[in-house]
Every structure is written in structure tokens, then in C-alpha cells.
Structure 1
């Protein structure tokens, strides 16, 4: 299964594409879609859709995973994020891709083992688990990778897929990883 995780934003949208294979998880691509800051919101949303279209065409995901919307104190920001999320959902639907959504706590739990992890902990854990190297990715990118990872981990566990049975991903390998890196799940 190939999953496109997206962390939507009007100024920059993070994306991460992960393939779940019998041998574990492999990052096919990740990065940011950055619309021109000087453009109107409508123009930026159009540029985000074009950028996501390009990612889908190049990396061929089988589904899209997104973090569920949360209500903050700033109503204007929530409305803008809602418009961006709507554009992302419409783009996925235009490509015929199913969309799955996960709560922030569920994503953090899938990646770090605790639902209260900080963004930096999620990024550090993903960097080690997905062998991203020492090149630190922006948090928008690691957030997107976390969404994709969560989808793969949830799909594997709910379907009893071979990833979970082989000890890769979150099975036996997860326990060994946590024992080797306790500072990342504290």
C-alpha cells in the first residue's frame, strides 16, 4: 500500500508518501508545497492543488491520509484551514483516491507510543524509524509523514497484514526500537 500523508496549510503544505511493504516502510518522497506568499488565498489554494496533483502523478499513492481538523481559538485561521482541507479533499477525490482521517493524538500514539508527544519527538522518531538520515525535515513534512505512517500502521494492525505479522513496523521491531531509544518516547 502506498499512502500520501498531507499536513495542510495555506502558506505551506507538507506531504509524505510511504510504501508499506513486507520488509517494512519505505519513504518514496516528501517535501513542501509552497504557494507564493504574495498571492491571494484563492490563488494559493489553486497552487496547492496543482502541487498535490503533481505529487500524486509522480508518486502514485493508493490513498490519502489527513489529520482531522481541530477547532482553535482563532476562527479566521480555522476557516482558512477548512478551505485548504476542502481543496485537498477535492483533489484526492478528483484522482479517485480514498481519504482517511486521523486525530492528532492517534497519529502521535502510532508514531511514538504516546498521544501526548511533542512535534519534535514525532519528527525524531520518524527520522530514525524511516531512516531519514541526519537531514532534519521541516515539521510540516514530518507531520505529513506521521499521518501516512499512522495510516499504514492502523491498516496493518486492523487487517492483520503481513507487515505486523513479520515483526516489522510496529510489531516486535517497535519494542526493540523503543528499548534502544527511550529518550524519543519519554
Structure 2
């Protein structure tokens, strides 16, 4: 299984491609897609999509993994990131690849063993996990590799998504079913 991890950004987007074969992981490639800094947001998004299509054509991933969106204090930045993520998702879906998303804490937990890890801790663990001499730079690239690593380590290539079955439906029947099955816990 070959997974492309993507860390989207309007100025630079990190990507990392990891292959899993017979229980071994290897990095096939990683880097940055950098749209021209002088362009408008729309032009940069277009360049990002073209760059992403090129990475996909060259690396031939079987799936793409992204970090779920989070909202910081800067609403404008969140809106721009939302546009970039939407363009990335549209590009990947247009090319017929499955997309899986992971919460930042889930990615950090998969890579470092704690969901509260800092970006630098993720970067320092990846060389050990992936057999690299040193962590790629900048952190956008290590974030993308961490996303791909999370996808593969969680067995998503086999199940369709962390915690979900191959059908894409949650294994859980939901809160109501749990309550019905365990009324003694509500007493």
C-alpha cells in the first residue's frame, strides 16, 4: 500500500509518500509544493493543485491522508486553510483516490505515543520509525510524513479509516445502541 500524506497550506504544502510492503515501511518521497508567493490566493491554489497532481502522477499513491481541519484564533487564516483543503480534496477525489482524515492528536499519538506531542517531537520520531538518517525539513514535510505514517499504522489501508470497517460505516451502533445494551450503567 502506498499512502500520500498531505499537510495543506496556502504558501507551502508538505507531502510525504510512504509505502508499506510485508510489514515494512519505506519513504518513497517527500517535499514541498510551493506556489508563487506573488500570486493571488486563487492563483496559488491553482498552482498547488497542479503540483499535487504531479506528485500523484509520479508517486502513484493508492490513498491520500490529511489532517482534519482545526480552527485557531485567526478566523481569516482558518477560512483560507479551508479553501486550500477543499481544493486538495477536490483534486484527490477527481483523480479517484480514497481520502482519509485524522485528528492532530491521533497523528501525534501514532507517531510519538502521546497525543500532546509537539511538532518537533513528531519530527524527531519519524527518522526512527521510517529508517531515515534525519528528519526532513521543514516541519510541513514531517507533518505530512506523520499523517501518512498514522494512516498506515492504524491499518486504514485495510479498513478504510481508523475505527471504521471497509464499508466506511462505523463499527459502533452509536450512543443509543450502547445505552440500550448497557442499561445498568445508567443507574
- Distance between the aligned counterparts of 1:128 and 1:86, measured in 2? 33
- Distance between the aligned counterparts of 2:17 and 2:57, measured in 1? 12
Q: How does 1:39-118 map to 2 (within 5 A)?
A: 39-118=39-118
Give SS of 1:14's match: strand
Say if 1:63 and 1:120 are closer, same or farther in 2 by CA, change over 3 A: same
- Distance between the aligned counterparts of 2:157 and 2:11, measured in 1? 34
Unaligned runs of 5+ in 2: 160-187
How far 1:23 moved relative to its partner? Answer: 4.2
Q: How does 1:1-186 map to 2 (within 5 A)?
A: 1-134=1-134, 136-155=136-155
Q: TM-score, normalised by structure 2?
A: 0.82
Q: Which structure has the bigger radius of gyration?
A: 2
2:174 aligns to what? none
- Distance between the aligned counterparts of 1:66 and 1:21, measured in 2? 21
Q: TM-score, normalised by structure 1?
A: 0.82
Unaligned runs of 5+ in 1: 160-186
Any idea what the Cα deviations from partners look like across 1:124-166, whole Å, max 9, x if unmatched? Answer: 100221122136421000000000000001116975xxxxxxx
How far 1:21 moved relative to its partner? Answer: 1.2
**CA-atom RMSD in angstroms:** 1.4
Any idea what the Cα deviations from partners look like across 1:10-53, whole Å, max 9, x if unmatched? Answer: 00000000011114101011000000111000000000000000
